[in-house]
Amino acid sequence: MYTFLDNFIIYLKVEKNASPRTIESYQNDIWQFIDFLVSEFKKPAQHISPRDVNHLVVRKHLGLLQRNGLKRTSVARKMASLRSFFRYLTREEVLSVNPLDHVSTPKAEKRLPEVLSQDGAWALVQAPDTGSPAGLRDRAILEVLYSSGLRVSELVGLDTGDIDMAVGYVRVMGKGAKERIVPVGSYAIKALQQYLAEGRPHLPKKDQGTPLFLNKNGGRLSARSVRNIVDKYVRQVSIRYKISPHTLRHSFATHLLDGGADLRSVQELLGHVTMSTTQIYTHISREKLLSVYEKTHPRA
């Protein structure tokens, strides 16, 4: 089985141009399934063939995951990894029939994402002390996340040449290596200009391209570092619920809709492939409307 997994990982890297994080996730999920097969069939992984797998075995694995208390969202993600793996094996004619065609994935509960109020978002992006190079960088990071709704992976992948200050846009490489152009607001442009003029020149630099946001060693800032930066300022402004860089993306979309933007435009800005992914934000806006109505109408 491991040989087929190795070939699948190469396929993800070369043909699908999947991100390292996606590849790691798929690999871990499929490893877990192979460990289950070893236990189920009582033989080493190298003696197990994809042809040994049928829909009953997959369902048994699914049931074990659920009995172990895994959240439905996590089970659904693991099943998605297996579906991709067995779809690949079918396409490569290792299998004539995909055993997962007869397995349904448990529906994940729909959870609305956390969203900052407009005042909360303003407080957060203005929290960094711009008296230091790191503070100027952090202010620019927060402003861009809220102004443009970028994924954290898109943010850390930016180079200095990806920003057009005069026109006010940023060129980002999204999921599936799809490039898109996203507007950048005036506050974010001002923060970027100040960071590039007064902050970035005073941070260490390595000769590794031209990453926009540098870490303390002069290399490209990582996604984990951005999460730590957000955590730092969340604590500083005393926000009492969990906030991540993605919360600023959720807030960006919700505040656009609250301001009258149409769903199709928000879909384009976020880089969503399907409208259904974007529609969750309409539920958030409706909940807000209902809350305002109940609080303000005398006969609500």
CATH number of 2-102: 1.10.150.130
- pLDDT recorded at residue 284: 57
Residues of the chain with CATH 1.10.443.10: 118-295
Catalytic residue among 72, 180, 227, 246: 246
pTM for the full predicted model: 0.62
How many Cα neighbours within 13 Å face the side chain of 97? Answer: 9
pLDDT band at 290 (very low <50, low <70, confident <90, very high): low
Res 240: pLDDT: 77
CA distance 215 to 222: 8
281 annotated active-site: yes
The H or E element spanning position 296 is helix 280-296
Has residue 298 got a pLDDT over 90? no
Q: How far is CA 251 from CA 3, 175, 209, in A?
A: 43, 20, 32
- pLDDT confidence of residue 283: 62
Of 190, 220, 187, 214, the residue nearest 201 (C-alpha): 214
| Mean pLDDT along residues 185-210 | 90
Assign domain 118-295 one CATH number from 1.10.645.10, 1.10.443.10, 3.40.190.10, 1.10.600.10. 1.10.443.10
Q: How many CB atoms lie within 10 A of CB 251?
A: 25
**What percentage of the chain carries pLDDT values higher than 90?**
57
Between 297 and 280, where is the model more confident?
280
Q: Pick the more confident residue, 284 or 18.
A: 18
**What's the rounded mean pLDDT across residues 248-273?**
85
Catalytic residue among 72, 175, 180, 190: 175
Rounded-to-integer distance, Cα 102 and Cα 106, Å = 13
> What tokens does 157 get?
């992948």
- pLDDT for 107: 65
* 250 is known as an active-site residue: no
d(CA 152, CA 289): 29
Supply the pLDDT for residue 286: 60
Instruction: Name the active-site residue from 139, 249, 250, 255.
Output: 249
Return residue ranges of the chain for CATH 1.10.150.130.
2-102
- Percent of the residues in the chain that have a pLDDT greater than 70, as a whole number: 89
- Catalytic residue from among 72, 87, 272, 288: 272
> What's the average model confidence in pLDDT over 168-181?
84
Please state the rounded mean pLDDT for residues 81-99.
93
| Residues 79-91, mean pLDDT to the nearest whole number | 94
**pLDDT value of residue 270:** 87
pLDDT tops 90 at residue 146: yes
Catalytic site includes residue 272: yes
Residues 159-175: what's their mean pLDDT? Answer: 90
**pLDDT of amino acid 275:** 75
Q: What is the mean pLDDT of residues 79-97?
A: 93
**What pLDDT band is residue 109 in, cutting at 50, 70 and 90?**
low
Q: Which of 151, 200, 220, 255 is catalytic?
A: 151
Residue 269, pLDDT above cutoff 90: no
CB 174, CB 150: distance < 8 Å:
no
Please say if the pLDDT value at position 273 is more than 80: no
Return the closest-CA partner of residue 247 out of 260, 233, 268: 233
